[in-house]
Amino acid sequence: MKKKCLCIRYPFRELTLSAYIGHSNGIFSIKSNKLLVKQILLVLALIISPVSITSGTISTNVFLRDSNTPIELVDPNIPHIYQDIMVGTKLKIVVSSDTIKRYWGGDLALEEAYWPYGILTPKEPLPAAGDSSGIYEQESGPPPIKWISFIADGDNVAAGDWFIIDYNAVDTGDYNSVDFNIGFYDYDISWDDPNYYLCFSQVRTRDFNNNTVVDFQDYAILASYWQQTNCSSSNGCEGADLNVDGSVDFDDLMLFCEFWLEKTK
Ligand SMILES: [Ca+2]
Ligand SMILES: [Ca+2]
């Protein structure tokens, strides 16, 4: 039975007031009773310059690479936990903002344990991220983590789609499925902990002939190995032993049918 990943979530912050309050502290140099000072400054901020206060969220959405078709959620009421995808599936993760918000930064983070199974590749920032925006890759650790970092900046930052990061599901190793978590960091919320995880469970491909669609040609390959029991010593029966128990039988047929006519292009 396939496991479901453990996802940790942190609440979005509804208002982004920290920079404004910090700026006001510098102006007035008030040092006593910090809570009262913040309350006073908050009121002043609301009175003097309400347009300086922005609300909104930076969000992620996941689509098939060649379309705007979103990947379905396991439960529509639980965000960021997605239906199974096959090895070979190509996704795009879109980072968007519903507000004009300059100097925003964040990351997608991939822990070393997941590196053999999927690859994140950044694309050029979209125009709405601003003419001084940036996106880059880096590694850090220990423990080793790969980061796709992005910054929205410039006079022309606009609400909308800001960044696209491609994801390729490349392997499940020796397993019939792998749970896969990608941390999403919003620096306005935390530098230390992900705001949430994008959770995938990726499974072995049913596209045995590697032509990007699961159809009768793949069924014919599975049928050619029907009830064969030495798959572990014969290259996995060309992948037809989907549950990796050494034989091709009804269990594999059921797993195959779950992705009938699935496309990975
Ligand atoms: Ca095929
Ligand atoms: Ca099997």
Between the CA of 2 and the centroid of ligand 2 the distance, in Å, is 15
Q: Would you call 52 helix, strand, or coil by DSSP?
A: helix
User: Based on the domain organization, do 135 and 250 belong to the same domain?
Assistant: no
Domain boundary among 30, 52, 74: 52
User: Based on the domain organization, do 122 and 247 belong to the same domain?
Assistant: no
Domain assignment present for 4: no
Q: Taking residues 197-211, what's their average pLDDT?
A: 94
Say if residue 74's pLDDT is above 70. Answer: yes
Q: Evaluate the CA torsion angle 40, 34, 13, 96 in order and state its sign.
A: positive
User: Based on the domain organization, do 194 and 78 belong to the same domain?
Assistant: yes
User: Based on the domain organization, do 113 and 222 belong to the same domain?
Assistant: no
Q: Give the number of other CB atoms < 10 A from CB of residue 263.
A: 17
Domain assignment present for 236: yes
User: Based on the domain organization, do 31 and 124 belong to the same domain?
Assistant: no
Between the CA of 241 and the centroid of ligand 1 the distance, in Å, is 16
Q: Among the listed ranges 4-13, 110-119, 124-133, 204-213, which one has the minimum average pLDDT value?
A: 4-13
Residue with tokens 């995938």: 200
Between the CA of 206 and the centroid of ligand 1 the distance, in Å, is 7
User: Based on the domain organization, do 136 and 223 belong to the same domain?
Assistant: no
Question: What total number of domains does the chain contain?
Answer: 3
Among all bound ligands, the one having the nearest atom to the CA of 236 is 2
Mean pLDDT taken over the chain: 80
Domain assignment present for 10: no
Between the CA of 249 and the centroid of ligand 2 the distance, in Å, is 6
What pLDDT score does 45 carry?
36
Instruction: Report the C-alpha gap between 184 and 161 in whole angstroms.
Output: 16
Q: Among the listed ranges 35-39, 112-116, 178-182, 237-241, which one has the minimum average pLDDT value?
A: 35-39
Domain extent at residue 34: 15-52
Among all bound ligands, the one having the nearest atom to the CA of 245 is 2
What pLDDT score does 100 carry?
83
User: Based on the domain organization, do 69 and 173 belong to the same domain?
Assistant: yes
Q: Would you call 113 helix, strand, or coil by DSSP?
A: helix
Q: Would you call 43 helix, strand, or coil by DSSP?
A: helix
Domain assignment present for 2: no
User: Based on the domain organization, do 46 and 61 belong to the same domain?
Assistant: no
Instruction: Report the C-alpha gap between 250 and 242 in whole angstroms.
Output: 11
Instruction: Report the C-alpha gap between 53 and 17 in whole angstroms.
Output: 6
SS3 content of the chain, % helix, strand, coil (to 5): 25, 30, 45
The tens digit of pLDDT for each residue in 34-48 reads: 334 333 333 333 343
User: Based on the domain organization, do 81 and 191 belong to the same domain?
Assistant: yes
User: Based on the domain organization, do 75 and 115 belong to the same domain?
Assistant: yes
Domain boundary among 203, 224, 240: 203
User: Based on the domain organization, do 31 and 68 belong to the same domain?
Assistant: no
pLDDT, greater one: 94 or 65: 94
What pLDDT score does 207 carry?
96
User: Based on the domain organization, do 48 and 123 belong to the same domain?
Assistant: no
Q: 234 falls in which pLDDT band (50, 70, 90)?
A: low
Buried b (16+ CB within 10 A) or exposed e, 167-185: bbbebbeeebbbbbbbbbb
What pLDDT score does 20 carry?
21
- Length of the chain, please? 265
